[in-house]
DNA sequence: TGCAGAAATTGGTTGGACCATTGAACCACT
DNA sequence: AGTGGTTCAATGGTCCAACCAATTTCTGCA
């Protein structure tokens, strides 16, 4: 009675185009930045309409795999392989306080884990790079008497990169815009992020000591201070104006 | 000299179409499942070609915002607002052992944080739902004498859902396929995931006790056992056949 | 040689046409 | 009444041919 019949698949033109194109990219060993055939040529070779090719490429463009430049051509933006994992995340109302807190929670998760991994895996070169970013950040903090979002971000990026897992950097990079939209306009809180400053060095110390649990704990403390700042800012301005 | 001039928008037809459509959806208060105007009507109303409308809708379809059914219409799949944050992530090369370990590290990060958030936020209803899934999983474990990936997954999903942050569930859902590609063929390890079984209940206990740090620690233990299983499996079969 | 303008290339858009699928209305038969 | 088949309009999917707009390349003059 409850027999499960999966729906059959009849036609999937543009998907087939994408699969063929992925195979082509793989065979030609095309990397990021390289140009792939023009839409007209693809349409002719694949025996489909140029319109169909465009729909397929639009999909890839939406996924950030490819960049189209009018008059020039279509270029790869990222490595593409047949077995790729696509994660289109959509956060409704990305402009309000709740949306920012949601992304911050993701950041806390990743930041803690990346710091812990970093403590296990970072070699001398990675540690030196992280410390260099840390020095730059502290220097900027002294001269300009406050947190500098750029240098701060570069420090965190260095940690993510040294985690040895490219996924961390990718995910966090995708959220960069979201974070910085508020970093630049920190809800009217003076000295926003000020409280998080000391934890940058403590994180580094725990990483350098190859103490994953300690690094994780310090990272959690850092995000907690940022979260407190945000909550304070949200309390200051009543936020009733935002839709 | 370094004046930052935002690039002017000379032509951005399909983006404009999407913005207009988002405004329309908002004004008409359309929710998931509802049908939006046909491509022909949209083309006529917006004074653009139907092809342009199609490209715009293809973008939304790729983002999972919309579903097209030939002969029927185009339907909303998720809430859509003009200020939405899209984070299309594409993770390459998830088919080898290193790729799986990389995703597992992401999962550890999210699982730990979600459990902690859950301990803070989960109400009676959410706790009951999680325990229900837990009971189902333990029942399946007893009757079939082994871990059941479906019931196991549903338990974790319930935790993510109760975290109160939709991003967790989205990210983890996108990785579901990747995890299960190996779950089903567990590298020749007998009783794969067996060691992780007891931690499911300990996680729940810590969540129910509203102990975020405890829940986080238990979640970390659970993932650690899975990681050990994987490493054991990778050591068993030499893995030299996988590209 | 250097460079401005012409020409070719390439993605973006348009309008129109036809196909494949869907779903509702209708009809015939039981 | 209900079952099944047919018709038909609506809708997304594909195709074609042309033109527009941005970019690149070529060409010829100074």
* CA–CA separation, B68 and B56 (whole Å): 13
Give the contacts of B217 (CB within 8 A, at least 6 positions apart). B206
CA of B18 to C1' of C10 (A): 24
* CA–CA separation, A131 and A118 (whole Å): 13
Q: What tokens appear for B34 in the block?
A: 């509802």
Arithmetic mean of pLDDT, A33-37: 92
SS3 B93: coil
The β-bridge partners of B40 are: none
First to last CA, chain A: 49
The reported pLDDT for the residue numbered A239 is 46
Q: Name the nucleotide with the smallest C1'–CA separation from A15.
A: D13
pLDDT tens digits, residue range A146-198?
666 778 888 999 999 999 888 888 788 777 766 666 555 555 555 666 788 89
Distance of CA A174 to the CA centre of its chain: 3
The 3-class secondary structure across chain A, one letter per residue, is CCCCCCCCCCCCHHHHHHHHHHHHHHHHCCCCCCEECCHHHHHHHHCCCHHHHHHHHHHHHHCCCEEEECCCEEEECCCCCCCCEEEEEEECCCCCHHHHHHHHHHHHHHHHHHHHHHHHHCCHHHHHHHHHHHHHHHHHHHHHCCCCHHHHHHHHHHHHHHCCCHHHHHHHHHHHHHHHHHHCCCCCCCCCCHHHHHHHHHHHHHHHCCCHHHHHHHHHHHHHHHHHHHHHHHHHCCCCCCC
Residues of chain A with pLDDT > 70, as a percent, come to 79
Report how many Cβ contacts below 8 Å link chain A to chain B.
165
Residues of chain B with pLDDT under 50: 1-10, 239-243
B64 and chain A in contact, CB less than 8 A? yes
* CA–CA separation, B29 and B22 (whole Å): 10
Q: Beta carbon of A52 within 7 Å of strand D?
A: yes
Return the residue in B85, B119, B121 with the most chain A beta carbons within 10 A, the one to mutate for interface testing.
B85
Q: Name the nucleotide with the smallest C1'–CA separation from A50.
A: D15
The reported pLDDT for the residue numbered A237 is 58
The reported pLDDT for the residue numbered A242 is 44
B75 contacts B34 by C-beta, under 8 angstroms? yes
A166 and chain B in contact, CB less than 8 A? yes
- With cut-offs at 50, 70 and 90, classify the pLDDT of residue A229: confident
By Cβ distance, the residue of B86, B93, B178 closest to A88 is B86
Nucleotides of D under 7 A from a protein CB: 9-18, 21-24
B117 contacts B126 by C-beta, under 8 angstroms? no
pLDDT tens digits, residue range A107-142?
899 999 999 999 999 889 989 999 999 998 888 888
* CA–CA separation, B165 and B147 (whole Å): 28
* CA–CA separation, A196 and A225 (whole Å): 6
The reported pLDDT for the residue numbered A3 is 47
Tell me which residue of B202, B213, B165, B136 sits closest to A99, measured CA to CA. Answer: B165
The reported pLDDT for the residue numbered B99 is 74
Residues of chain A with pLDDT > 90, as a percent, come to 38
The reported pLDDT for the residue numbered B226 is 86
Q: Is the pLDDT of residue A28 over 90?
A: no
Which chain A residue has its CA at the smallest distance from B60's CA?
A62
Residues within 8 A of A (CB atoms), B 139-158 only = none
Q: Is the pLDDT of residue A209 over 90?
A: yes
- With cut-offs at 50, 70 and 90, classify the pLDDT of residue A93: low
* CA–CA separation, A165 and A118 (whole Å): 9
- With cut-offs at 50, 70 and 90, classify the pLDDT of residue A98: confident
Which chain A residue has its CA at the smallest distance from B77's CA?
A90
The reported pLDDT for the residue numbered A78 is 81
Q: Beta carbon of B68 within 7 Å of strand D?
A: yes
Burial A209-221 (b: 16+ CB within 10 A, else e): eebbebbbbbbbb
A38 contacts A75 by C-beta, under 8 angstroms? no
Q: Where does residue A71 rank: exposed (0-12), middle (13-18), buried (19+ CB within 10 A)?
A: exposed
- Pairing assessment for the beta strands B73-76 and B85-91 based on DSSP bridges: unpaired
Q: Is the pLDDT of residue A2 over 60?
A: no
H helical segments located in B35-84: 39-46, 50-62
In sign, the C-alpha dihedral spanning B112, B115, B120, B121 is positive
Give, in order, the Cα–Cα distances in Å from B173 to each of A192, B107, B160.
Answer: 34, 11, 10
Q: Provide the mean pLDDT of chain A.
A: 81
The reported pLDDT for the residue numbered A196 is 84
Tell me which residue of A85, A110, A165 sits closest to B98, measured CA to CA. Answer: A165
Contacts of B63-71 with CB under 8 Å at 24 or more apart are: B63/A62, B63/A88, B63/A90, B63/B88, B64/A88, B64/A90, B65/A90, B66/B36
* CA–CA separation, B152 and B193 (whole Å): 10
Q: What tokens appear for B95 in the block?
A: 């088919």
Angle, nearest 10°, between helix axes B197-208 and B212-236? 170
Q: How many Å lie between the alpha carbon of A32 and the closest alpha carbon of chain B?
A: 13
Partner-chain contact A78 B95, CB within 8 Å: no
């Amino acid at each position: 009675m409850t027999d499960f019949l999966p729906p059959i698949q009849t036609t999937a033109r543009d998907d087939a185009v994408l699969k063929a194109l992925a195979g082509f990219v793989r065979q030609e060993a095309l990397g990021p930045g390289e140009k792939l055939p023009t839409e007209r040529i693809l349409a002719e070779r694949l025996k489909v309409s140029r319109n169909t090719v465009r729909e397929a490429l639009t999909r890839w463009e939406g996924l950030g795999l490819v960049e189209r430049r009018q008059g020039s051509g279509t270029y790869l933006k990222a490595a593409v392989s047949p077995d790729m994992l696509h994660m289109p995340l959509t956060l409704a109302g990305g402009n309000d306080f709740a949306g920012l807190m949601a992304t911050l929670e993701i950041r806390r998760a990743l930041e803690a884990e990346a710091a812990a991994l970093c403590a296990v895996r970072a070699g001398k070169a990675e540690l030196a790079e992280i410390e260099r970013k840390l020095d730059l950040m502290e220097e900027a903090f002294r001269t300009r008497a406050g947190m500098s979002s750029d240098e701060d971000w570069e420090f965190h990026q260095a940690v993510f990169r040294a985690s040895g897992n490219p996924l961390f950097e990718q995910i966090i990079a995708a959220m960069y815009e979201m974070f910085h939209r508020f970093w630049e306009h920190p809800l009217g809180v003076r000295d926003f992020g000020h409280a998080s400053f000391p934890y940058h060095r403590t994180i580094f110390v725990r990483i350098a000591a190859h103490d994953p649990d300690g690094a994780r704990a310090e990272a959690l403390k850092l995000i907690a201070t940022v979260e407190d700042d945000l909550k304070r800012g949200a309390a200051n301005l009543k936020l009733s104006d935002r839709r």
